[in-house]
Amino acid sequence: MTMRLFYEALWLQKAGNSEEEYEDAFWPKPRLSGEPIQVVSVAVADGATDSSFSGIWARQLVRAYSHGNIDPANIKASLSKIQARWARTVNRKPLPWYAEEKLRKGAFSTLLGVTLRDEHHGGSSGTWEALAVGDTCLAHVRGDELVATFPLSSSTQFNNTPFLLCSNPNSNTRLDVEAQFSSGAWETGDSFYLMTDAFAAWFFREVEEGAKPWQILRDVEIDPSVPFRPWIEELRRKNAIRNDDVTLYRIDVS
């Protein structure tokens, strides 16, 4: 027997923006409903609003991580191929002066990648490892307890100027000190939530107020009475969450 996974990404673009303007990214795309699997790498990224072509950059990063093309031991070298692909994609047509100038600065994005391995325990336990640049967060829940968060652990740690992965290698000089790594063990029944910043900040605020937000997260969209998008819109209306692209990637191990 190997581990069986249920995973699914839920997302909603920033209010006032079109779906095409959603600049978060996640991979794998298709949901998984309990299929046996030996190892899986899931990634979520958040392209920065303030740079151009950051949605493309975020999508290229999550795919690369998920396909095993980002070596946590040597991220900078792994990025060079992705950076070249990004440059080929965005340089296809002549651009107006402002787009050229913005392009020179490069695109920026967070990256959170999580890899779960079965480790030959027959599907009942295994290990996970994660890599993070920026403020896209992971929460690991066992039973009714939060057992780990990464790379941030409190709502006060978010700000509007995180260090991000750049498509221009000249802006990644601090990457060696800014990239963060974590690892742990999973057991059958555990859940992992990968969340972009606005949603993660809401999650941490809930925890800080003594709530258990995973009790909602494990049911959202599965329980027809808690559909994801109307729920996020309601949180926005109540100012409980900042208006930003929202992505929740939920992984349940069984």
Partner 1 sequence: MAYTAEISRNNPSCFLFLIDQSGSMADNFPGEVPKKKADGVADAINKLLQNLVIRCAKEEGVRDYFYVGVIGYGATVGPSFSGSLAGKELVAVSEIANSPARIEERVKKVDDGAGGLVDQKVKFPIWFEPTANGGTPMCQALGNAKSILQKWMGQHPNSFPSVVIHITDGESTDGDPSQAMNEVKSLSSSDGNVLLFNLHISNNPNAQSTAFPDSSASLPDQYARLLFEGASLLTPTMRNVAGEHGFSLSDGAKCFVLNADLVLVIQALDIGTRASNLR
Q: Catalog residues that contact partner 1 under the rule CB under 8 A.
A: 16, 21, 46, 48-53, 56, 90, 96-102, 104-105, 108, 159-164, 166, 169-174, 178, 197, 243-244
CB of 18 to partner 1, least distance (A): 10
Give the nearest distance from C-beta 199 to partner 1 in angstroms.
Answer: 14
**Rounded to whole angstroms, what are the CA distances from 249 to 112, 164, 166, 211?**
11, 20, 23, 20
Residue 161 or 225 with smaller CB distance to partner 1 = 161
SS3 207: helix
Residue 38 CA, distance from chain mean position: 21
Name which of 6 and 158 has its Cβ closer to partner 1: 158
Shortest spacing between CB 14 and partner 1, in angstroms: 8
Q: Which is closer to partner 1, CB of 225 or CB of 239?
A: 239
3-state secondary structure 13-72: CCCCCCHHHCCEEEECCCCEEEEEECEEEEEEEEECCCCCCHHHHHHHHHHHHHCCCCCH
As measured in angstroms, the least distance from the Cβ of 153 to partner 1 is: 20
Q: Are 252 and 5 in contact (CB under 8 A)?
A: yes
Q: In the complex, what is the shortest distance from the CB of residue 83 to partner 1, in angstroms, rounded to a whole number?
A: 12
- Cβ closest to partner 1, residue 112 vs residue 116: 112
When the beta carbons of 109 and 115 are compared against partner 1, the nearer one is 109
Give the three-class secondary structure for 233. Answer: helix
- Strand order, beta sheet including 111-117: 24-27, 39-46, 111-117, 125-133, 180-187
